[in-house]
A and B are shown apart, each in its own frame.
Chain A
Amino acid sequence: MRDGIFHLSNYRLRQFKFLSLLLLTSALLFACAPRSESGKGTPPGNLAAEMREVTDDAGKRVRVHARPERIVSLAPNLTEIVYAVGAGPRLVGNTTYCDYPREANQVTKVGDTLHPSVERILALRPQLILVSTASQLETFARQLDEQQIAVYVTDPRDLDGVLRSIVSVGDLLGQRAEAERVAGQLRERAARVEEATRSRQPVSVFYQLSAEPLYTAGHDSYITDLVRRAGGRSVTADVPGAWPRYSDEAALSSRPEAIVMATGGSMGEANADIAAALKNSPAARSGRIIKINGDYLSRPGPRLVDGLEQMARSLHPEAFGQ
């Protein structure tokens, strides 16, 4: 009997809890609905006039505000570009990888490049989201598209592509002149490097992205172009893909004269040792192991040219009067 009552009251209690939960949810829904409608901001008439259409690196048409005031960047290289073209103050969200320039650390974090939180992004009410192909685009790009937020994808395959993306992102943010100036300076610095290395015998280079397992830069990577400009010849230049998983014995047989490794910076101690298969390569025996700040080489942004300069100086010190 006692048991029965207890059972009954327990059931009532659960029923009550369920009902109140239902009420609470619907109340919240009603409270939110009008706000999300008004949240779209400017009146429709004005909106159409302020919009324009551009094509991004994924070949997608993007409708975007003429001068977006609220920007979210989902990759550290894009964050660096936003600051370089002078639109830093308009950045309302970026990722935990975005640590340069220092102001980028103060911006709201929406997750990392691989797993950004769509909820957090939406909560920031951005007008433009800058994305690199490093993100798993398929999973969230559609969700953002449905919210009619402009998603702009960059995918530079070489240094020219990086400079172009600086100009196009600058243009997108209404900072075309500043972006042209920045890209022009970078182009000049890159040209000076090429001038210095042009007459030199190219050094064969193995680019080590990670040692275990062995990853390198392939045909579609901007690194392959960078190595060439620095007066090198990437031994994996013809391997399909951007970042192929590479065979140990192919690496050993490639007999590189120099090994370039992206390490340090925000990568810390990762990738600081050369792969076992390269321990007896000509590069390892002659000590031509070139370590370059991982942030310069892993982020196709303005500092990629710093990486280029360091690589060229290490490959051809005599060409720079050292």
Chain B
Amino acid sequence: MRFVTIETAKAGSPATADFARGAHTTLRRTLAICSLLALALLTVGLVSMLMGSQRLPITGSLCLIFGGDGGRCGLTPEQQAILFDLRLPRVLLAASVGASLAAAGAGYQALLRNPLAEPYLLGISNGAAVGTMIALVFLGTQTWTRSLMAFAGALAATFVVYRLARGRTGTSPEKLILAGVIVTTFLSSAIVFITTMMDATRIRSFNFWLLGDLSGSTSSLLTIGLIAALLGTVLLAAHGRALNLMMLGERDAFDLGVEVERVRLIVFLAASLLVGASVASSGSVGYVGLVVPHLVRLSVGSDNRTTIPAAALAGALFVIVADTAARTIIAPRELPVGAITALIGAPLFVYLLRRG
């Protein structure tokens, strides 16, 4: 695994070269990688807008997407509504959820110096889910309480996992995963407990949402999700250099002038914001935060200034593809997107582990 080499970076392994590179070179490299990914993202987003349970004329759809007039492009009002009122928001939501989870995963992995640190495995998604459900059951259905409680839940879960994992000797990878398992199972039970307090009609919709589902969202949740994705990713990427140094060890980072406590708090806040916003709109979509940063590190290296924004773009791409599959495989019925990301993610991760 490329990641493990970071531990030995002090000893002068090739990975040191990544960090030693000047800020100017890094910026240029990051921009090049990200513009390539952004181009791929736009292409995939466009293709996914052309796919769905309903077959739309391709040339007409393209004509409409590139600013054509509805009548001239030869699409009925229904087809226009499918394209812009249903598919576009859904593709945007998939992008925001994917970007959020992948960037948060990359952030946790750098901060906790553990390649397995991921919102889903650490129980942070479950924390956000419990927050959302508490908001829905006890506090009414306003969008802002839902998102705020999801954020609070994610943050609380993050701190509990961190506290549990951090012993006198610092966080060990095993302890962190164990803490994640404990928090995940505890919160899963809490979720079961809350669902028993709901009536039957709501349980059905919650089961779907819990698995990660992009269909039940609203425009305000989408707006919050997009803003959170952008804000969180920028915040994390801006602390990329500090995270690079902290990956060498918090002690060394401190000696090199990094405000370790402050950076840790900011990363926790930003990652919780990302996870909270995505869970509030679409439940727990698993494996994105694990698989995507791994793939990104394998291909572009471990410099967090590059890895974090690249992971966000690649994550968006991954979830758009997964959700397109979820919408089309058994059309006109639908699958929860979380089932697809897990089906792709788990084998892919095993493959990456073996290759590493």
Contact B202 A250 (CB under 8 A): no
Q: How far is the CA of A236 from the CA of B327 in the complex (A)?
A: 17
A235 to chain B, nearest CB (A): 10
* Nearest-CB residue, chain B, relative to A111: B196
For A267, list chain B residues within 8 Å (CB).
Answer: 199, 201
Contact A249 B205 (CB under 8 A): no
Q: Any chain A CB within 8 A of the CB of B54?
A: yes
Mask, A146-183, CB within 8 Å of B = 1, is 00000000000000000000000000000000000000
Which of A113, A248, A249, A253 sits near B200, CB closer than 8 Å? A113
Q: Any chain B CB within 8 A of the CB of A54?
A: no
For A245, list chain B residues within 8 Å (CB).
Answer: 208, 333-334
The size class of the interface chain B forms with chain A is 20 to 34
Q: How far is the CA of A97 from the CA of B208 in the complex (A)?
A: 23
B contact patch SS:
helix
Which of B200, B204, B208, B216 sits near A112, CB closer than 8 Å? B200
Contact A247 B53 (CB under 8 A): yes
Q: Any chain B CB within 8 A of the CB of A145?
A: no
Contact A114-B205, Cβ < 8 Å, known A247-B52, A253-B78:
no
Q: How far is the CA of A212 from the CA of B334 in the complex (A)?
A: 13
Q: Any chain B CB within 8 A of the CB of A203?
A: no
Q: Which of A113, A213, A241 has the most CB of B within 10 A?
A: A213
For A250, list chain B residues within 8 Å (CB).
Answer: 53-54, 331-332
Contact A249-B86, Cβ < 8 Å, known A115-B196, A212-B216, A241-B333:
yes
Q: How far is the CA of A249 from the CA of B81 in the complex (A)?
A: 9
Q: How far is the CA of A253 from the CA of B80 in the complex (A)?
A: 11
Q: Any chain A CB within 8 A of the CB of B87?
A: yes
* Nearest-CB residue, chain A, relative to B52: A249
A249 to chain B, nearest CB (A): 4
* Nearest-CB residue, chain A, relative to B201: A270
Q: How far is the CA of A249 from the CA of B51 in the complex (A)?
A: 11
Q: Which of A210, A215, A241, A253 has the most CB of B within 10 A?
A: A253
For B332, list chain A residues within 8 Å (CB).
Answer: 236, 239, 244, 246-247, 250
Contact B200 A214 (CB under 8 A): no
For A114, list chain B residues within 8 Å (CB).
Answer: 200, 203
Which of A113, A213, A252 sits near B215, CB closer than 8 Å? A213
Docked complex: B164-218 residues within 8 A CB-CB of A: 196, 199-205, 208-209, 213, 215-216
Q: Any chain B CB within 8 A of the CB of A89?
A: no
Which of A112, A244, A249 sits near B54, CB closer than 8 Å? A249
Q: How far is the CA of A271 from the CA of B199 in the complex (A)?
A: 12
Contact A97 B200 (CB under 8 A): yes
Contact A280 B333 (CB under 8 A): no
Q: Any chain A CB within 8 A of the CB of B12?
A: no
Docked complex: A82-122 residues within 8 A CB-CB of B: 97, 112-115
Q: Any chain A CB within 8 A of the CB of B77?
A: yes
A223 to chain B, nearest CB (A): 15
Contact A252 B334 (CB under 8 A): no
* Nearest-CB residue, chain A, relative to B333: A244
Which of A115, A249, A271 sits near B87, CB closer than 8 Å? A249
Mask, A262-280, CB within 8 Å of B = 1, is 0000010011000011001
Q: How far is the CA of A239 from the CA of B215 in the complex (A)?
A: 19
B91 to chain A, nearest CB (A): 12
For B216, list chain A residues within 8 Å (CB).
Answer: 212-213
For A241, list chain B residues within 8 Å (CB).
Answer: 333
Additional A-B contact list (19), CB under 8 Å, known A97-B200, A210-B201: A112-B200, A210-B205, A212-B215, A213-B205, A213-B334, A215-B205, A244-B332, A245-B334, A247-B53, A248-B86, A248-B215, A249-B54, A250-B54, A250-B331, A252-B54, A252-B86, A276-B85, A277-B86, A280-B81
7 shortest interchain CB distances as A-B pairs: A250-B332, A247-B53, A212-B216, A249-B82, A250-B53, A247-B332, A213-B216
